[in-house]
Structure 1
Amino acid sequence: MEIMDIIVDSISYPADNLKSLFIYLILGLILGLVIGVTGVETALMTGEGSFFAFLLAIIGVIISILISFLLEGYGLDIIKSGIRRSTASPEVDFQRQSINGVKSVIVSIVYFIVPVIIILLLSMVFKNWIVYIVGFILILIFSLAYTMGICRLAKTEDLSVALDIKAAIDDIFNIGFVKVILTLIAVLLVILIITGIFGAITGAIFNKTIASVIMGIIDAYLLFFSNRAMGLLYSEI
């Protein structure tokens, strides 16, 4: 697919799958309510309150983590639908999507900790300007490889496949290094433009609470958009 086709398809995908978008929003709302009702932030940040309040906060943390993993896994299924170039929306599968959400977090940690370790080792040997240049190149490559790794996880649901960094880097060049870069830049520009426009409009017209709700919906829409775009990009392989 051409880059413009990927962007156009991805922009329309959330609107064509309002049921899935609604489900995602409900899960996000539940997550917010759990955090608020159980006092997770207050109890864990201040350490104050009764034992019951602290216990309730711990329960809230556990539930919040589970829902977060579910949302992460649900996002992977959106990527998978893009890889398959399917217009169908994913259904909620709590166990499978939660497990995949855990895998996604592991992939994120590995792909970002590896370049950090390499840069730290290089800083012990080379001068700063060399470390800066090599570090920038490493971060760029691993960021792109991370995108491929997440797509590999979405496609196979296999952690070992997703953590095959060499294969992920090969995927970048199989799709086309320039195409991957330009597609991700295009996705970022769309996100910045939509966020900027709606942020300015809601901030000028509505109060803080309503504006936050609207921007929450926009954030969910953009997550669908970006995940769909990642999947369509990876479908080139």
Structure 2
Amino acid sequence: MGYLTDLFKEALVYPLSNIVTLIILGVLLTISKFPNVLSSFGVDVDFQLIIIFALISFVVSLFMDGYSLAVIKDAVDFNVSMPAFDIMKNFIDGVKVWVLKILYYIIPTIITIFVALLTGGVDAILNIFRFIGENQELLSNLNTPAELINAIPQEYIATFLTSLFITAIVAIILYIIFGLLYNIGLCRLAKYDSFNEGINFKAIINDIKAIGLGTYILWYIILFLIIFAISIVMGLIAAIPYIGIILLNLLFAPFIFLLVNRSLGLLYTKAEGYNG
């Protein structure tokens, strides 16, 4: 516990060690979410502008993912200063991170879809929509959502809810497991600058053993509680008219971004000497 306490003390101070970098990251995040900023000022945003900024947001996310890899690597190497921006390398690394995410999360996604099919959830949804389509005139006279639900054959609803419950449990378990593996794979990608090391499952499992599964899970819990506490403050700040949404993206969002990646890199140092 003492190790994690020191880890989070350093990780919480880290984002404030270079205010210029923090603000630059915040500006990038603000630009990527500019339609939300405009909406907070009461400006109508047309569909074309949303599409344009969706593309900008994608480009920014690639850059941010690549920079996160640099933050993790510096933590693993015990560098105390923030990494300098390297636009080309950050973008290339961002592509690597995206591919790594796809490889790790495609398996739980496919299994989750399969479970939904196997438990009848998809068929239940199709039956519900088919019933609604065939009985529009009858359903148009209903006034509340409760009346609509009661009008739908209850076997469809029961099958859907049962499938939803089972699928949700399976999905949560799978995404937690693959999320734990992905984080360490991300650290290995950062440390060795090798995509193959990012999917070296044998080495990743050994790293988790070296860190300690209990320590790893406790890190997750503490990180969640810290982010939750910060989010409460963020919610209060965001409620401030006009300036709130700007402060949210300009300061709080990059703070959490740096906190998460720095703490993950520091956690991985516990596996040092055990990596293969």
TM-score range, shorter chain: 0.7 to 0.9
- CA offset digits 1:89-127 (Å, max 9, x no partner): 1111111110110111111111111123345556759xx
Q: Cα offset for 1:195?
A: 1.3
Contact 1:141-1:169 within 8 A present in 2 as well? no
Change (3 A) 1:169 1:87: same
Q: How many aligned positions are there?
A: 220
SS in 2 for 1:85: coil
AA paired with 2:248?
Answer: M
Separation in structure 2 between the aligned mates of residue 152 and residue 220 of structure 1, nearest angstrom = 23
Separation in structure 2 between the aligned mates of residue 132 and residue 68 of structure 1, nearest angstrom = 27
Q: Percent of pairs identical after alignment? A: 31
Which residue number corresponds to residue 97 of structure 1?
Answer: 90
Separation in structure 1 between the aligned mates of residue 228 and residue 37 of structure 2, nearest angstrom = 29
AA paired with 1:25?
Answer: G
Which residue number corresponds to residue 50 of structure 1?
Answer: none
Q: Which has the larger radius of gyration?
A: 2
User: 4+ runs of 1 displaced by more than 4 Å?
Assistant: 32-37, 60-64, 119-125, 128-136
What stretches of structure 2 of length at least 5 have no aligned partner? 39-43, 120-162, 272-276
The two structures, once aligned, show a CA RMSD in angstroms of: 3.2
1:28 paired to 2:62: no
Change (3 A) 1:185 1:70: same
- CA offset digits 1:35-80 (Å, max 9, x no partner): 999x9971287xxxxxxxxxxx66x665543332112111111111
SS in 2 for 1:2: helix
Which residue number corresponds to residue 212 of structure 1?
Answer: 245
Which residue number corresponds to residue 221 of structure 1?
Answer: 255
Separation in structure 2 between the aligned mates of residue 4 and residue 221 of structure 1, nearest angstrom = 18
TM-score scaled to structure 2, two decimals?
0.69
Contact 1:35-1:41 within 8 A present in 2 as well? no
- CA offset digits 1:121-180 (Å, max 9, x no partner): 56759xx79877665543322111111112122222222211233432332222110100
SS in 1 for 2:270: coil
Which residue number corresponds to residue 43 of structure 1?
Answer: 48
Contact 1:21-1:220 within 8 A present in 2 as well? yes
What stretches of structure 1 of length at least 5 have no aligned partner? 46-56
SS in 2 for 1:236: helix
1:82 paired to 2:88: no
Which residue number corresponds to residue 10 of structure 2?
Answer: 9
AA paired with 2:229?
Answer: I
Separation in structure 2 between the aligned mates of residue 225 and residue 25 of structure 1, nearest angstrom = 14
1:179 paired to 2:172: no
Contact 1:20-1:90 within 8 A present in 2 as well? no
TM-score scaled to structure 1, two decimals?
0.79
Which residue number corresponds to residue 266 of structure 2?
Answer: 232
Contact 2:112-2:167 within 8 A present in 1 as well? yes
Q: Cα offset for 1:25?
A: 1.8
SS in 2 for 1:90: coil
